[in-house]
Structure 1
Amino acid sequence: MDLLGESVVPANAIDTKRRAQSFAREHVKPAAGEYFESGEYPMDVIEAAREKGLVAQEISKEYGGAGRSVGEAVATAEEFFRADAGIGLALMGQSFGTGILEQFGTEKQKDTYLRPIAAGEMITGMAISEPETGSDLAGMETSATKEGSEWVLNGEKYWIGNGVEADWILVYVCTEETDDRHDNHSLFIVPTDSDGYDAEHIPKKIGMHASKQSHITFENCRVPQENLVGERGEGFRMVAEFFNHGRTRVAAQGIGLAAAAIEEAWAFVHDREEFGRSVSDFQSVRHDLADMRTQFESARTLLWHAVERLESDEDAAEWAAMAKLNATETAADCAQTAIRLHGGWGVLDESRIGRIYRDVRMPMVYEGVSEIQRDIVYENFA
């Protein structure tokens, strides 16, 4: 059973999708249970993906990357997350934030920081959320103060992917004191070996154990003026634009998880008997599967429409928000139904559907909770 067919995938993304699917079946899915149990960072899988050209693939050829499209990144995310969400997030997060740097950074910044990521020599991350502020992008309080030719950072960031593992982090901070809360944030490249930078892993999460999120503190952490990315005070707008791409990728993560939940449910009810007949013979079970499939196909169609909007440079904010909202909530609904169909077997630690059930909760939160996506859709209703 292959729900992630190629019918909606653009022709230029099909080859990448097939390579991602093959890699996920060979390297990701077999290792999923082990890494979920251990919580270790899947460096061996990451190295294998680098060899196959499936890491940091969106960086342009000009800076040593593959220059792959939004559609190719989405197709890859679908396949990785169908195989395992924790390892999938670790793989996709190797180049988190490079899109902003490539679009708004100086040539020197791109040569210095993008090329090593594309070459697999460095890992990066992006620090936006804070302990007391998650979805309010304009309310982040970590600050950067100008002192001569340097900026001095103070504050905290939370839920930051690769905060410990990364070589440098793109950090979103408050730099201005203005009445307009959308004009007072900026972005800085912060090497993780900088004095005043400290990061520790967040304790074990409900799901996605193979991915690592961190708590970062900045205490008089100094970076040079040349590490400012883009224009001072334009951070909010840069990040908001970036989120259109990011939310589309998160939608793809939800689609991959939904596909995994449906496949697990299908296999279980067709292999199990109750009351002298296959569980799949019961009409209520068939209707459950039909509803899951219908939700899934609807969400996937919306996702690929959002991809089409992004690739044609149309305003895609509402479409990315709808795609993320629909796909992640569909994944949660499908996992809920699938674990119910599994009965007692679904709650065992070693069951794949149990891992999926826990993993689906996380994409509903990062890059904006569902309520934020609904706000964006409403604001773009005209």
Structure 2
Amino acid sequence: MELLDESIVPEHAREVKAEARAFADEHIAPNAEEYFRTGEYPWEILEAGQDAGLVAQDIDEELGGRGLGLEAMLAIAEEFYRADAGIALTLQLASFGAEIVEKYGNDDQHEEYLRPVAECDQITGLAVSEPQTGSDLAGMTTSAEKDGDEWVLNGEKYWVGNAVEAEWLTVYVKTGDADDRYSNYSMFIVPTDAPGYDAEHIPEKMGFRASKQGHIEFDDCRIPEANLVGNEGTGFYMLADFFNHGRVVVGGHGLGLAAAAIEEAWDFVHDRAAFGRDVSEFQAVQHDLSDMLIEFERARALNWRAAGKVADQDNAGYWAALAKANSTEAAVECAERGMQLHGGRSVLSENRIARVYRDCRIPVIYEGANAIQRNLIYRQR
């Protein structure tokens, strides 16, 4: 069954899509069950992805990357997440937030921080959420205060990919107290070996077990003034633009998971008998599978249309929110139907459908919960 066909993919992104599929078939899918069971960080697969030119390659060619655009990153996401969401997220988080530094940072920051990531000598991450605050980007309390030629950070960040593993992070903190709450935030490059930086892995998650998130505490963490990205007070607007691109790619997370759920359910019902008949012969089963395909194809068409709109900066926030909400919810719908079609065997964690079901509950929350996406859809139309 070929669900993630290339016919909807722009021609310029088809080659990297084929590379991603070959890599996923060789490195991700065969190891998915083991990494889900152990919950270990897939260093070997990450390094293989770096060697294959499929990690951190949205960074510009002049800095050592491939300069892959949004549609190429979406094509990679579909293929990786179809194979396994946890390993896929590890691969895609290796450069998460680097795009902000590339777009708004200066040449010195590019050379010192971006080039090692693009050349796969380092990994990075983005710290936004806090223990008590997630989707409210203008409600974060972690702060940075100027002290001479340094900034001093205090507070906490949560759900940070690579908080423990990365060499540096892009960190979103409060630097002002203006009436316009959206102008109070700035972005900083924070090395993870900076004095006052302390991180630990958060407790184990129900899904995405091969991807590690951390809890960071900043206790008078000092960084040079030169580590401010762009202008003070513009962090919220940087992040909003960044998430427009990210939400399209997260839609790809949902599409890959939905495809995996459909594949598993299709194979299962065509290889099982009940009441003297092949399970696939029952009309109710056929309707369930048809509904899964309807959800998937509808979401994929919207997601790829949104990718083009966001790439062209055509009402990007609206289209990004549509794609993220629809595709991630399509994954949930397909996984739930897939679980039902598997019957009692669906609850065994050794089965792919059980892992997909656990995993698909997570993208509806990250990169802005889907309730927030609906707010954006309404306000930006």
Q: Structure 2 length as normaliser, TM-score?
A: 0.99
Instruction: Name the counterpart of 1:81.
Output: 81
Q: In the TM superposition, what is the alpha-carbon distance from 1:310 to its structure 2 partner?
A: 2.0
> Is it true that 1:234 corresponds to 2:234 in the alignment?
yes
**Counterparts of 2:341 and 2:199, CA distance in 1:** 41
**Counterparts of 1:104 and 1:117, CA distance in 2:** 16
Q: In the TM superposition, what is the alpha-carbon distance from 1:315 to its structure 2 partner?
A: 2.5
**Counterparts of 2:310 and 2:132, CA distance in 1:** 32
**Counterparts of 2:223 and 2:55, CA distance in 1:** 28
- For residues 123-169 of structure 1, the C-alpha deviation after alignment (integer angstroms, 9 at most, x for no partner) is 10000000000010000000000000000000000000000000001
Instruction: Name the counterpart of 1:324.
Output: 324
Instruction: Name the counterpart of 1:166.
Output: 166
SS of corresponding position for 2:157: strand
Give percent identity, aligned residues only: 57
Instruction: Describe how 1:154-303 pairs up with structure 2 within 5 A.
Output: 154-303=154-303
**Counterparts of 2:332 and 2:198, CA distance in 1:** 34
**Counterparts of 2:205 and 2:111, CA distance in 1:** 36
Q: Which consecutive unaligned segments of at least 5 residues does structure 1 have?
A: none
**Counterparts of 1:55 and 1:315, CA distance in 2:** 28
**Counterparts of 2:119 and 2:99, CA distance in 1:** 16
Q: Which amino acid aligns with 1:330?
A: A
SS of corresponding position for 1:122: coil
- For residues 310-350 of structure 1, the C-alpha deviation after alignment (integer angstroms, 9 at most, x for no partner) is 22232211100000000000000100000010001110021
SS of corresponding position for 2:181: coil
Q: Which consecutive unaligned segments of at least 5 residues does structure 2 have?
A: none
Q: In the TM superposition, what is the alpha-carbon distance from 1:69 to its structure 2 partner?
A: 1.2
The 4+ residue runs of structure 1 with deviation greater than 6 A are none
SS of corresponding position for 1:205: coil
**Counterparts of 2:243 and 2:311, CA distance in 1:** 14
SS of corresponding position for 1:271: coil
> Is it true that 1:50 corresponds to 2:50 in the alignment?
yes
SS of corresponding position for 1:231: coil
**Counterparts of 2:99 and 2:149, CA distance in 1:** 26
Instruction: Name the counterpart of 1:310.
Output: 310
SS of corresponding position for 1:298: helix
**Counterparts of 1:9 and 1:32, CA distance in 2:** 26
Q: Structure 1 length as normaliser, TM-score?
A: 0.99
Q: Which amino acid aligns with 2:164?
A: V
Q: Which amino acid aligns with 1:129?
A: S
Q: RMSD of aligned C-alpha atoms? A: 0.6
- For residues 254-297 of structure 1, the C-alpha deviation after alignment (integer angstroms, 9 at most, x for no partner) is 00000000000000000000011110000000000101001100
Q: Which amino acid aligns with 1:135?
A: S
Number of residue-to-residue matches in the alignment: 381
- For residues 38-92 of structure 1, the C-alpha deviation after alignment (integer angstroms, 9 at most, x for no partner) is 0100010011111110000100101110011111100000000000000000001
Instruction: Name the counterpart of 2:98.
Output: 98
